[in-house]
Chain A
Amino acid sequence: MRSLQARLGIGLLLSLVVVFVILWYGVSSAIRVLSEDYIASRLAHDAETLLAAADVNERSAPKLAAARVDAVYRRPFSGHYYEVLTTEAVERSRSLWDQTLSAPMLAVGEERLMHGIGPQGQPLLIWVAGFRKQNVHLTVAVAEDLTPVEHNIAVFQNRFALTALVVLTVLIAIQAIIVRTSLHPLTQLRHELRALERGERESLSTHVPSEVAALVKEVNHLLGVLGERLGRYRNAFGDLAHALKRPLTLLHQLRRHEVLRAHPELGQTITDQVESMQRTIDRVLQRARLAGGGLPGAHFSVAKDVPALVGALARMYGARQIQLVNDVVENGALPLDREDMLDLLGNLVENACQWASATVRLTVRQDVGELIFVVEDDGAGAGNADLADLMRRGTREDETKHGHGLGLAIARDIAEHYRGTLSLASSPELGGLQATARIPLH
């Protein structure tokens, strides 16, 4: 996934480079055109001076009065040159040092500005014009070396490039800061999503820029819909169980009816079937509730919920002593559903209470990335073969008989739903059964 910041940065860099290159070229051309125009007007002026200084006749080369020609035309390779051409002869400035400007003959009144290469490879701007003086047709070409102009333009271009580079860097830096600031809500959103997953929040904050507000609203809406649906499913299953339990309770009481007392085997059949239905309802309800899980409901707090559960169990099993060892240093509620965890622990501890002779011990501790519940009792326990049998039992409802089976099966369903494990062993200290549930914390 490419970063939005990098994408925006590259976009800005490219567009700025294009703008600077166009500017660089445009400004350079403008300077060149302006300079050449200026030089050309000076050359035209010099040409007129030369024309005035020229003494011409039809047979010999034109003569220019030395006093009226600027000294710069006499110093060799000075950068200022002229040629005066008639149809028969050519008069060149001394500065040309016998080289030629190769100017064409122009008709009278015609003017032309051209570029050429002068002595020593100098780039020249040449102004050529055709005249008629004393009835002689002549062409005057005046040239000036463009090297200083080219040099100035090159200096300007370098400075421009340097400035552009600095401006570019500064702009990119400013843009990076702006982007980071404007993307801050997205970073915050990412943190909030993580908090949502951990279950520390129930919805996303709506204090976001308008660009992401719609997305946040949609996520919140979805969360609401899913939460509502989960609640509805859970309520529906709860109501179903409630509705089924009423007739089951009545059927259960029927066993005590006078007619059935005369037929104990019928009464026993009713009891067995009612209890089997009851176990099925409990198990299926449990599974259905779990299948609907995964969304933030009320969160499990070891410090708050476990003592409450142990208190409840202690009241129900007054003869048993339930020891609670809590080694969890909690920083906020855990991302686990309170109802699921209470069902997991309640089933494990109740099972232990049913089989213990006096003591049940519940140890809660936190390891790297997982929460561990260990429930031990001092009952008769189970041999290795029985342990394997216990783990296997409860995988199918009809195999689940009262006692160890159902509670452990439900506990295992819950543990596995959270991608955890439930393992059974013999308790090394208390001697009875030891059930260990490991629940990963993402």
Chain B
Amino acid sequence: MRLLLVEDDAELVATLRRDLEAGGYAVDVADNGVDGEYLGNEPGYDVAILDLGLPQRSGLQVLHNWRAAGNRLPVIVLTARNQWHERVDGFRAGADDYLGKPFHVEELIARLNALIHRSHQQPAGLLQQGGLSLDEARQRVITRDGREIELTGTEFRLLRYFLLHTGSLLSKSMLAEHVYDFDSDKDSNVIEVYVRRLRQKLGQQVVETRRGQGYVFRGLP
């Protein structure tokens, strides 16, 4: 899952980036409203964390502009301004969730996961698809017959993306875009390596290869 973090506090960004990456997110950062708005309009983001007190352009204005331009990117507002009228205004501007500072990173990640489930019409809790249940908190997958399988960070990200897009054709570059952040070397051949690893752990049939086009996730037979 590729996440856009729009926050101007460099120290908070540093700790938050680490925690979010540990939570299975590829994180891009914008430290002002103008850059944040521009990046948020780029395709490829699955969710955004938006601070309201931003330099150059306020977070509320950024959110408003995104929604006015038809950008439906799921947004969690993360702000010290958490008076109720500010929250109401935030939701009215098009926020999907709202978290006041200071906050528990665990809560932020839980809300991010819930928001992503919601935006893919998935119920809250474990992400269940094709005979697999993904435990996002512990980053492991449980098969239908109760087998728990450990996943590395990249495997987890890739599998989560597959589970959320079961049955859809996903190109290698699209997968790379959602699994890696902006600064990573997006060599789409690496995706092949991770797809192979997932197949080794879960079985050959879980991912179908469409030659020259990409992959389709099928789940357990």
Residues of A whose CB lies within 8 Å of any CB of B are: 238, 241-242, 245-246, 248-254, 256, 274-275, 278, 305, 308-309, 311-312, 315-316, 318-319, 338-339, 342-343, 345-347
The smallest beta-carbon distance between A242 and chain B, in angstroms, is: 4
A245-B102, A318-B124, A345-B84 given; 7 more Cβ-contact pairs under 8 Å: A246-B9, A246-B101, A249-B12, A252-B104, A253-B105, A278-B102, A347-B84
List chain A residues, Cβ under 8 A from B84.
Answer: 309, 339, 342-343, 345-347
Q: Are B105 and A308 within 8 A (Cβ)?
A: no
Q: Map CB proximity to A onto B1-24 as digits: 1 under 8 Å, 0 otherwise.
A: 000000001011001100100000
- 14 A-B contact pairs sorted by A residue (CB < 8 Å): A242-B81, A245-B80, A248-B102, A250-B15, A252-B103, A305-B88, A308-B88, A309-B84, A311-B91, A315-B91, A315-B95, A342-B85, A346-B87, A347-B84
Q: Please, which residue of chain A has its CB at the minimum distance from the CB of B8?
A: A246
A34, B86: Cα distance in complex, Å: 92
Smallest CB–CB gap between A408 and chain B, Å? 15
Q: Which residue of B lies closest to A281 (CB)?
A: B80
B39 part of interface (Cβ distance < 8 Å): no
Contact A242 B91 (CB under 8 A): no
Q: List A contacts of B85 (CB < 8 A).
A: 338-339, 342-343
Complex contact B101–A253 (CB within 8 A): no
CA distance A346 to B85 in the complex (A): 9
Q: Which residue of A lies closest to B117 (CB)?
A: A318
Main secondary structure of the interface of A (DSSP, over half): helix
User: Is B31 interfacial (CB 8 A cutoff)?
Assistant: no
Residues of the A chain whose Cβ atoms lie less than 8 Å from the Cβ of B197: none
Total contacts A-B at CB 8 Å: 82
Query: Chain B 41-84 against A: per-residue CB contact (8 Å), 1 yes, 0 no?
Result: 00000000000010000000000000000000000000011011
The residue on B at minimum CB distance from A310 is: B88
B12 A253 Cβ-Cβ under 8 A:
yes
Choose among B16, B80, B91, B92 the residue that contacts A246 (Cβ–Cβ < 8 A). B80
Q: In whole angstroms, how far apart are the Cα atoms of A414 and B96 in the complex?
A: 28
Cross-chain contact B124 with A249 (CB below 8 angstroms): no
Residues of chain A lying within 8 A (CB to CB) of residue B15? 250, 253-254, 256
Given A251-B102, A253-B19, A342 contacting B12 (CB threshold 8 A): no
Q: Which residue in chain B gives the minimum CB-CB distance to A234?
A: B83
The 4 A-B residue pairs with the shortest CB-CB distance in the complex, in nearest-first order:
A346-B84, A245-B80, A312-B91, A249-B102
Residues in B neighbouring A242, C-beta threshold 8 A:
53, 80-81
A338–B15 Cα distance when bound, in Å, is 36
Bound complex: CA of A271 vs CA of B139, how far in Å?
Answer: 25
The CA of A274 and the CA of B104, in the complex, are separated in Å by 11
Query: Is A315 a contact of B11 with CB atoms below 8 Å?
Result: no
Is B118 interfacial (CB-CB < 8 Å)?
A: yes
B111 nearest CB neighbor, chain A only:
A316
Known: A250-B11, A318-B124. A312 touches B98 (CB 8 A): yes
B114 within 8 A of A: yes
Residues on the A chain within 8 Å of B81, using CB: 238, 241-242
Q: How far is the CA of A48 from the CA of B55 in the complex (A)?
A: 120
Q: In the complex, what distance in Å separates the CA atom of A346 from the CA atom of B88?
A: 9
| A315:B102 contact, CB within 8 angstroms | no
Contacts of A241 in B (CB 8 A): 80-81
Residue B136 is within 8 A (CB to CB) of chain A in the complex: no
Interchain nearest-CB distance for B20 vs A (Å): 11
**Nearest B residue (CB) for A345:** B84
Q: Give complex CA distance A241, B19 in Å.
A: 25
| Shortest beta-carbon distance from B206 to chain A in Å | 30
Could you tell me the distance in whole angstroms from the C-beta of B85 to the nearest C-beta in chain A? 4
Q: In this complex, which of B11, B87, B92 has the most chain A Cβ atoms within 10 angstroms of its Cβ? A: B87
Q: B97 at interface (Cβ–Cβ under 8 A)?
A: yes
CA distance A272 to B96 in the complex (A): 29
Contacts of B101 in A (CB 8 A): 245-246, 248-249
> In the complex the two chains form, is B103's CB within 8 Å of A312's CB?
no
Tell me, rounded to whole Å, the shortest Cβ–Cβ distance linking B147 to chain A: 29
Question: Distance in Å from the Cβ of B139 to the closest Cβ of chain A?
Answer: 16
